[in-house]
Structure 1
């Protein structure tokens, strides 16, 4: 008979798996995280962290380290075939507001994101999964070392070619456009300023070469259509005065847009690229994976199978929506649209993603305010800090607006935050119970609803 421990095996130590490990760690859930590669990933790949992901990093206590390591997206400088130049931005810079402290995407190469997330996490490199079988109350995992591990939960965060997904027999539906490919490389070079993201258009609306300066120690991310030329030859072809001095990670992206048919199969879960793969257009893939893990971690900690069912209920529609957005952006690139590089759609910042109407979203008010059950809990200034200061940590939190009636004894911290009422759209005594992933779970004018919610969902 399997024990009641929530012991979890995480397969894959990219940003998704590492975020999940951090979530489990702070909830006190035992886990192992294994990574088939012998060493950490060393490429730039997904280099943009969206505003909602920055809020997740704040809750995990990492935001200052990420802000110090990353930087703003630079202005693009197009080197035109006629010798002229044209400057433009993917999106305008947005000023922080009381409810959105980090309104802009942060540029940070993926290897650095993983490094910061991995600090203090006991990743087992060079260890892969070869099989698993259901057992009473859990799953028996076989590692490629021959070791057999019994776990309550198995999470596949092992990328688009996920072994966990394949062994679980979960379909991966969508399409691959073999003819739509992009060469990517990390390069060092001389003869080019680092103040701009340099692009060289080709004939008509074709794309020829891009060189984006990465925060840190002098690397650029090179992007170009596939060819037989080396990175140095690609650069020399557009400007012989630029010299490539070093080539690091290289890869060839192919247009692959797919999503798993389900995110849970008994005691097995999928997250990140194992569950959904996106075009890099719009910087959505890595961010969606991090938020998958942020959603799943606290639910594993409850040990409640009904709560864990809500992982798929909440995240699968979000992934489908995000996949649609990134696919539309990709199509604009492929078709050479004039505005193909614009990234000014507010949806891309992922602050508006919500779980309204889902099982864990209990909206009891006859006239809901602007922030409803299922929504992200926005920040707001308080007399002695900020809302995010109150929410930070693995616990659920009760926000009491203009509440003077004595509350029953509760299992969560209570904060009276009347001054935040305008941002939350609250105009009468109201209780908002915020889940551990900082989405509003219960919104009510009756404390009995909060008590019932906490009991039902083991918070």
Structure 2
């Protein structure tokens, strides 16, 4: 029996699998495909997702292999309009180390995550298609097409918009599909087109875009599809891509070639009303799909996984009660609803604006995702003018007693809570918490006279809005659990005691739950 069975080996499933594996949770990850895909697909990682991937130890490889600050080159009716960097002016800053999104093919992101997962002894099981499962108070039994059965304490569906897990649960996928709004996509080579830009040609009746995919000779093509006689999108092909390019780009002598990963994408705006049923969870596109405007799909799925991983691990090891798992729905469903709304609004603005020459073709900064959960029951107490419980915990540079530079994000990295104490009285409070909860927490004093870290140029105090003495408890997913003035450890102890006070596990790897049989 495994602790967690993950269905779907895209970025969401792989992020969750590695996050669990590094915490000592036994995990299996299956995918119905017979081989790993090599399409560019989701190609943009936003700064918050890069922060998550830094915690997982893969951001350096992704940044090295990808392209940051890619210029968007805009055209209208074949005429050059402008070059825009949508991330210009964003940093880097002491509290935010990544000053740009990174453009990189999804296949490469998955390769890097698979390598990281393999270092934990876990391989993706290909050609393993789920056809059903049942669950009870003790676990889940999944059945594959070849008749094999897999028993797990929990199952997580990361299997995309047509999720077999969601369909087996019978959960409605509320929303709508726009039959008239579609896009054709593919990976193509295009000699004579500069690879220093994401080229975006707009005309009053549509658009075509070519984005260079690092590490390849290909561009990702996105375009308004050709209609047939009934107005339905024609299937994508190299020939139709060339006709679309000639029509929208109006650039003579450019021939597209070697088209791979051909796809038609329709605008879907859908989400589930709950992402947990008993011991079964949904994450990523299995739980919510939305327009591609802003490039939030893969990023939202990665952040789903990051939110769920530490909660499953604590429940499975008995360090927290299974009630902690209820906060996954509580925190992530509002984010999904916000994402559906903002991407729909963004797409509609673009579609309306491009109808008029010279309008709607400027690159806007992508929406910011992953900033916090102020509404959560895990956000305890009041905040200050800068931060509130539930917010993303900022980074800041510090130095140790030897003068070595160390960032707060380096202290946060790993499967633990982090307790930061500001001021000279902090060490005593930190020791009190560590004495009781040292298996859950790592503690660091900032600004103590003879121990701890020095706040380089006051960046940490400014980022956290701290004037005098204070304690800040940071969750394993680098969001703030609480901020307290002074050096009283009571609030931090009460929070951590509360995690443990829920019903304990009847088995070291099975947390009790109100079981649902399907």
Q: TM-score, length-normalised on structure 2?
A: 0.83
**81, 84, 92: which one pairs with 1:89?**
84
Q: How does 1:7-156 map to 2 (within 5 A)?
A: 7-81=3-77, 84-89=79-84, 91-93=86-88, 94-119=90-115, 120=118, 121-156=122-157
Q: CA deviation at 1:110?
A: 1.1
Q: How does 1:333-412 map to 2 (within 5 A)?
A: 333-336=350-353, 338-339=359-360, 342-344=363-365, 348-351=367-370, 353-363=371-381, 365=382, 368-383=384-399, 384-405=405-426, 406-407=428-429, 408=432, 409=435, 410-411=437-438, 412=441
2-side partners of 1:403 and 1:161: how far apart? 55
SS at the partner of 1:152? strand
Aligned to 1:212: 211
Superimposed CA distance per residue, residues 47-70 of structure 1 (whole angstroms, 9 cap, x where no aligned partner)? 111110010011111111010011
Aligned to 1:172: 173
Answer yes or no: is 1:230 the counterpart of 2:247. Answer: no
Q: CA deviation at 1:124?
A: 0.4
Q: CA deviation at 1:6?
A: 7.0
2-side partners of 1:73 and 1:108: how far apart? 12
Aligned to 2:504: none
Q: CA deviation at 1:342?
A: 3.1
1-side partners of 2:17 and 2:391: how far apart? 24
2-side partners of 1:224 and 1:340: how far apart? 15
Aligned to 1:275: 287
Q: Please tell me whether the aligned partners of residues 185 and 248 of structure 1 are also in contact (alpha carbons under 8 angstroms).
A: yes
SS at the partner of 2:353? coil
Q: Give the direction of change, closer, same or farther, for the CA distance of 1:234–1:357 in structure 2 (3 Å limit).
A: closer
Q: CA deviation at 1:90?
A: 5.8
2-side partners of 1:456 and 1:442: how far apart? 13
Q: Give the direction of change, closer, same or farther, for the CA distance of 1:413–1:41 in structure 2 (3 Å limit).
A: same
2-side partners of 1:426 and 1:189: how far apart? 54
Q: Please tell me whether the aligned partners of residues 7 and 156 of structure 2 are also in contact (alpha carbons under 8 angstroms).
A: yes
Q: CA deviation at 1:200?
A: 2.4
Q: Please tell me whether the aligned partners of residues 74 and 362 of structure 2 are also in contact (alpha carbons under 8 angstroms).
A: no
SS at the partner of 1:378? coil
2-side partners of 1:341 and 1:129: how far apart? 44
Q: CA deviation at 1:184?
A: 0.7
1-side partners of 2:208 and 2:101: how far apart? 23
Q: Please tell me whether the aligned partners of residues 2 and 28 of structure 2 are also in contact (alpha carbons under 8 angstroms).
A: no
1-side partners of 2:222 and 2:362: how far apart? 14
2-side partners of 1:31 and 1:322: how far apart? 29
Q: CA deviation at 1:44?
A: 1.2
Q: Give the direction of change, closer, same or farther, for the CA distance of 1:78–1:448 in structure 2 (3 Å limit).
A: closer
Q: CA deviation at 1:125?
A: 0.7
2-side partners of 1:246 and 1:357: how far apart? 49
Aligned to 2:442: 413
Q: Give the direction of change, closer, same or farther, for the CA distance of 1:6–1:355 in structure 2 (3 Å limit).
A: farther
Aligned to 2:512: none
Q: Give the direction of change, closer, same or farther, for the CA distance of 1:153–1:92 in structure 2 (3 Å limit).
A: closer
1-side partners of 2:288 and 2:20: how far apart? 22
Q: CA deviation at 1:452?
A: 1.9
Q: Give the direction of change, closer, same or farther, for the CA distance of 1:33–1:361 in structure 2 (3 Å limit).
A: same
Q: Give the direction of change, closer, same or farther, for the CA distance of 1:141–1:92 in structure 2 (3 Å limit).
A: closer
Q: CA deviation at 1:103?
A: 2.5
Q: TM-score, length-normalised on structure 1?
A: 0.93
Aligned to 1:256: 268
Q: Please tell me whether the aligned partners of residues 95 and 103 of structure 1 are also in contact (alpha carbons under 8 angstroms).
A: yes
Structure 2 unaligned residues grouped into runs of 5+? 227-233, 316-320, 400-404, 448-454, 502-518
Answer yes or no: is 1:327 the counterpart of 2:344. Answer: yes
Aligned to 1:431: 471
2-side partners of 1:234 and 1:206: how far apart? 11
Q: Please tell me whether the aligned partners of residues 8 and 155 of structure 1 are also in contact (alpha carbons under 8 angstroms).
A: yes
1-side partners of 2:84 and 2:343: how far apart? 18
2-side partners of 1:298 and 1:95: how far apart? 29
Q: Please tell me whether the aligned partners of residues 369 and 424 of structure 1 are also in contact (alpha carbons under 8 angstroms).
A: no
2-side partners of 1:378 and 1:329: how far apart? 28
Answer yes or no: is 1:295 the counterpart of 2:323. Answer: no
Q: CA deviation at 1:247?
A: 1.0
Q: Please tell me whether the aligned partners of residues 69 and 87 of structure 2 are also in contact (alpha carbons under 8 angstroms).
A: no
Q: Which has the larger radius of gyration?
A: 2
Q: Please tell me whether the aligned partners of residues 105 and 349 of structure 1 are also in contact (alpha carbons under 8 angstroms).
A: no
SS at the partner of 1:293? helix
SS at the partner of 2:95? coil
Q: CA deviation at 1:75?
A: 2.3
